[in-house]
Structure 1
Amino acid sequence: MQLDSLSWGLGPRRFEIFLEPTCPYSVKAFLKLDELIAQAGEKVTVQIRLHSQPWHMFSGVIVRCVLAAASLEGGREKAKAVLTAVARHREEFEFENHASGPNLEASPNDIIARIERYSGVALAEAFASTELEHAVKWHTKYARQNGIHVSPTFMIDGLVQPGMSSGDPVEQWVSQLI
């Protein structure tokens, strides 16, 4: 199984962002990435790293959906479509107060079906591939090796940037990258 890298741009500066797809702060950061790429141009490579967090109850299922999309033809853009769909409909993929609400009745298959409906990406077959587990584990190990504990977390050229935040304007991110 081949997965497209969740990477945009070919610039010499490497901007890695560790995201949990249903985290409100990760969503805020994710929705700024297109603007960042537009402003930073060819000076930066943006790489999304997935960081599943257990208090977001469907986190593992959704991360696997993103990676399943990345395994399909046109995977990078399909993975981005899945991330965008989850971001735009975040409440439908998250529990209220991390432990209650209508998603208590949802199954992983319900979550996959919702993502397919919102993103337009057929995921179920790729999601079921046992080879996908390697990618899920790689993202987890990579985050742990870099001391990542929360999302979003930002790294520039391999160094964690504790002063960066999803609340920062894109211009501030650009000033740190260029």
Structure 2
Amino acid sequence: MTATVWRADPLVWGSGARMFEVFLEPTCPYSVRAFNKLDELLTLAGENNITIAIRLQSQPWHLYSGVVVRCILAASTLEGGKETAKKVMAAVAAHREAFEFTRHAGGPNMDVTPNQLIERLEGFSGVPLKEAFAIPDLDREIKWHCKYARQNGIHVSPTFMIDGLVQPDLSSGDAVEAWASRLSPA
């Protein structure tokens, strides 16, 4: 029996000394707002000055959270790595209601199966996910994200860390310029 060799590409952009870690639940409206600001932040602050890392924070009240998070991490194992994963995250962000329940407990998504959800995400993103989703030990990557968040005392999304310190006063509602000013060299 041949073991499948795979590698999840870290969801990290930029190469600067200042580390901005963003803990996101992909279907959370506040996480979507934060996600949509990250490219602008990288441009504004300079990719040689900061490093942005997305940490996925699955949350049980977003009922398809686990399936969506697994899809994103599965996408990071495909050609294009983190850029492919980012494309999947962008598709979720652009069509958030297609992956979430009404008021977390009802609505049209009540009848959606995990396979239908994956097919829906494949359609929106153009990324073939089913085979990568089925990687048997992909769980280790999912567990890493969970463990890392817990070790840092993070329980909700979005949560922001700068250089390893949680920033409770930062929010997805802040202007990108406010984030950039906090990341400027000390």
TM range (shorter): over 0.9
Cα distance in structure 1, aligned partners of 2:120 and 2:178 = 35
Query: Which residue identity is paired with 1:106?
Result: V
Aligned residue in 1 for 2:114 = 108
Cα distance in structure 2, aligned partners of 1:104 and 1:159 = 38
> Unpaired runs of 5+ in structure 2?
1-5
Query: Which residue identity is paired with 1:112?
Result: I
Cα distance in structure 1, aligned partners of 2:108 and 2:124 = 18
Which of 20, 27, 39 in structure 2 is aligned with 1:22? 27
Does 2:54 align with 1:48? Answer: yes
Structure number with greater Rg is: 2
Q: TM-score, normalization: structure 2?
A: 0.95
Runs (4+) of structure 1 exceeding 3 A deviation are none
Q: TM-score, normalization: structure 1?
A: 0.99
Deviations 1:34-58 (A, max 9, x none): 1000001111000000000000000
Aligned residue in 1 for 2:18 = 13
Cα distance in structure 1, aligned partners of 2:152 and 2:67 = 23
Identity of aligned residues (%): 65
SS across alignment from 2:61:
coil
Cα distance in structure 1, aligned partners of 2:129 and 2:137 = 14
Which of 120, 136, 142 in structure 1 is aligned with 2:142? 136
User: What's the offset of the Cα at 1:134?
Assistant: 0.3
Cα distance in structure 2, aligned partners of 1:34 and 1:114 = 25
Cα-Cα RMSD: 0.5
